[in-house]
Amino acid sequence: MTDKIKVVASTREEAIKLAREKLGVEADIALNIVEVGKKGGLLGIDARKIYEVSLQEGLSQREEDILAMVSDGLDVDGSFAIRVADDGIFLKITAPEGKGDPVSYQLVKMALEKKEFVQIDWKTVQNAIHENSGEWVLIAPRLPELDRDGKLKVEISNDKLRAYISYTPALGGRELTEEEILQVLKDNQVVFGIKEEKIKKFAEKPTQIDNHLIAEGIPAVPGTDAEIIYHFESKKDSVGTQREDGSIDFYNLGLITNVNAGQVLVTKKDPVPGTTGRTVTGEVINPPEPRNKELPGGKNVEKRDEHTLIASIAGQVVVEGNRVSVLPVYEVNGDVDLSTGNIDFVGNVLVKGNVMEGFMIKASGNVEIWGHVFGANIEAGGDVVIKKGFVGRNKAHIQARGDVHVKFIENGLVKAEQNVIVSDAIMHSNISAGQAIQVTMNKGLLVGGLSRAGALIEANIIGSYLATSTELKVGIDPELKNKLKEMEEDLKKDRLNLDKTLKAIDILEKLKKQQGSLPEEKRLMLLRLLLRLQATATKLQAEIDKKKMNYDEEKNKMEETDRGRINVYKTIYPGVKMVIGRSAYNIHNTMNRTSFIEEEGEIRQITL
């Protein structure tokens, strides 16, 4: 861009318009305009004026106002610059803005020592850092005999897929050319994947760089390992089967996966080889051999061929680690009593009678009992289904990794990792469910004892007209709400600061293009501010990403808390104490058809 031009015009305004067209600048760029003579006209009559026009140094008032607006509240670290001139070595310290960190003496000292300057006046360096004047300060004499050319160092990663360069600019000597840089790379065996456009730009304007990526190889693409495909359905998440009338039968869950002899259980797909890659040194990289897999063996299964596993008997298919087995269901046609003893079975257990007092059933699968359980212990790796009732007699327990389905529970201890579903009543018992406790069929009574659930407790009737002490607990810590609110405010502040920074960067980028005629000092100032803001933006973005990840984790916990709920479909009586999260509430009056949730640290009632 031309620094100064002359235009001929009748008026000053016309001269400014012509000058802007010739200089190619917008209306908001300030100009210096001076009348230097006249041209044409008889005896000076109707003579046109000659104006000399140049770009005004610095930023216009409008540009200053914009920068002040977007930079308000930004935290920018201090910076320093080193200049080698004929008359000496100079240092300039720029003060931080907002809450930015000041320049440290140690950082400046390391930079000066790295450049191998000698006869440095360290006291002057300390004073310059302390004063933050923004002015160039002489800190050492220029010694031409110590001048050196630019120096390039090449490093290759251990896997040879990346090459990096570090460059120390010349001190009074000669910088490396594009061709010389390429030759240095070649001398260091870097011949593939070179980023030549980067080298060209760097050669045009060399600067101090450390470990800058300059070449990338092509990694080998691994093949596909052998794949094992299971041809049976897992029904662990089933909550019931649908009757012909559309209702749900919670007792016949359909969890058992039955197979017939000769039925295909597992097939195998062979591995697929990968593709080769290439290092920056030109070497070919062979991909790792894909892993083969064997068909999983187990009980009562056999290989039809090297790709197919079939069942050798009819029964229940189960997966135990990496083994597939077919197990028969253990059936007891009558009661579990002295005639059978305790049952400990790897698979599913079916009892067509009752389980009598003092006995135990332990199964790795599901336990189904058609009668009652009287003071006996039941432990299942899947679901427990009791078609009649469980009378615990204050000493027996039921434990299930899935659901527990039972007609009624009396004086019992029940723990399910998923749901406890009771059709008639829970009376004076200790119940724990990872998800929900539901007592909503038939009478649907929950009275006495302690019932705890991760998300939901619901019943037709809770408590009794005698004000029987009944305790309910649901949900998790509601204090997460306060923590989330603080995290949201923190994120909002960082995002606002980042937005201001990005706007400032955008304006500075535009100004950098428009201020081509600025003196060297002004242009360097503009560039340094731009670099500082870019560093600030990178730092802010990294902090936002980290905080957002933590926020999302806490929010997931909060969503679990929000699901905490107690539903009453008929009546809830005085004597009931409930806790949702950490909020507690006591029932003092009889209520009908209502629901309870936790909001902002308090339990709130909602009419169903």
- When comparing pLDDT for 171 and 410, which is higher? 410
User: DSSP letters along 280-337, please?
Assistant: TTS-EEPPPPPPP-PPP--TTEEEEETTEEEESSSEEEEEETTEEEEEPPEEESS-BS
Residue-wise pLDDT for 52-61, tens only, equals 877 665 555 5
- Strands, sheet with 48-55, edge to edge from the N-terminal-most edge strand: 4-9, 48-55, 31-39
Q: Is the pLDDT at 347 greater than 60, yes or no? A: yes
Q: Is the pLDDT at 126 greater than 60, yes or no? A: yes
Residues paired with residue 405 on neighbouring β-strands, in sequence order: 385, 421
pLDDT at 37: 76
For the segment 30-39, the average pLDDT, to the nearest whole number, is: 74
pLDDT at 75: 66
**Which of the four pLDDT bands, split at 50, 70 and 90, describes residue 162?**
very high
Give all strands (DSSP E) within 381-537, no chain letters. Answer: 384-391, 397-400, 404-410, 413-416, 419-433, 436-439, 445-453, 456-462, 470-474
Spatial separation of the C-alpha atoms in residues 7 and 19, rounded to whole Å = 7
Which tokens belong to 556? 């997931």
- When comparing pLDDT for 425 and 15, which is higher? 425
User: DSSP letters along 483-507, please?
Assistant: HHHHHHHHHHHHHHHHHHHHHHHHH
pLDDT at 55: 65
Give, for 258, the enclosing helix (H) or strand (E): strand 258-259
**Which of the four pLDDT bands, split at 50, 70 and 90, describes residue 478?**
very low
Give the residue among 475, 437, 432, 451 at the shortest CA–CA distance from 580. 475
Residue-wise pLDDT for 132-153, tens only, equals 888 999 998 877 766 778 889 9
Looking only at the bridges linking them, the beta strands covering 367-369 and 384-391 are parallel
pLDDT at 277: 94
Residue 340 DSSP class: T
pLDDT at 487: 84
pTM score of the predicted model? 0.40
- When comparing pLDDT for 448 and 100, which is higher? 448
Farthest-apart Cα atoms in the chain, separation: 138
Give the residue among 194, 134, 187 at the shortest CA–CA distance from 162. 194
Residues paired with residue 390 on neighbouring β-strands, in sequence order: 373, 409
For the segment 268-282, the average pLDDT, to the nearest whole number, is: 94
Q: Is the pLDDT at 249 greater than 80, yes or no? A: no
By the 8 A CB rule, do 206 and 169 touch?
yes
Give the residue among 404, 391, 551 at the shortest CA–CA distance from 487. 551
Residue 205 DSSP class: S
Residue 570: Cβ within 10 Å count: 16
- Cα three-residue angle 444-445-448, rounded to 5 degrees: 155
Spatial separation of the C-alpha atoms in residues 460 and 449, rounded to whole Å = 17
CA 50 vs CA 11, 30, 110: distances in Å: 10, 19, 55
pLDDT at 561: 47
* Residue 76 φ/ψ, nearest 5 degrees: -120, 125
Spatial separation of the C-alpha atoms in residues 323 and 228, rounded to whole Å = 12
Residue 365 DSSP class: S
Mean of all residue pLDDT scores within the chain: 82
Residue 478 DSSP class: T
Spatial separation of the C-alpha atoms in residues 571 and 589, rounded to whole Å = 11
What is the identity of the amino acid at 487?
A: M
User: DSSP letters along 86-102, please?
Assistant: TTEEEEEEE--BTTPPP
**Which of the four pLDDT bands, split at 50, 70 and 90, describes residue 352?**
very high
Which tokens belong to 460? 């037709």
Q: Which of 89-93, 366-370, 431-435, 532-536 has the lowest mean pLDDT?
A: 532-536
Spatial separation of the C-alpha atoms in residues 229 and 424, rounded to whole Å = 43
pLDDT at 333: 87
Spatial separation of the C-alpha atoms in residues 531 and 516, rounded to whole Å = 18
* Residue 555 φ/ψ, nearest 5 degrees: -65, -35
CA 401 vs CA 365, 595, 600: distances in Å: 9, 28, 33
pLDDT at 437: 95
What is the identity of the amino acid at 251?
A: Y
First to last CA, the chain: 76
**Which of the four pLDDT bands, split at 50, 70 and 90, describes residue 1?**
very low
pLDDT at 351: 94
- When comparing pLDDT for 277 and 8, which is higher? 277
CA 507 vs CA 31, 97, 514, 515: distances in Å: 20, 18, 11, 12
If you search the block for the tokens 């000053």, which residue do you land on?
12
**Count, residues in the chain:** 608
Spatial separation of the C-alpha atoms in residues 196 and 194, rounded to whole Å = 6
By the 8 A CB rule, do 133 and 80 touch?
no
Q: Is the pLDDT at 377 greater than 80, yes or no? A: yes
Give, for 362, the enclosing helix (H) or strand (E): strand 360-363
For the segment 172-194, the average pLDDT, to the nearest whole number, is: 90
Burial class (CB in 10 A: 0-12, 13-18, 19+), 26: exposed
Percent of the chain residues topping a pLDDT of 90: 40
Looking only at the bridges linking them, the beta strands covering 264-269 and 258-259 are unpaired
Burial class (CB in 10 A: 0-12, 13-18, 19+), 306: exposed
Give the residue among 168, 144, 134 at the shortest CA–CA distance from 88. 144
Percent of the chain residues topping a pLDDT of 70: 82
**Which of the four pLDDT bands, split at 50, 70 and 90, describes residue 244?**
low
What is the identity of the amino acid at 243?
A: R
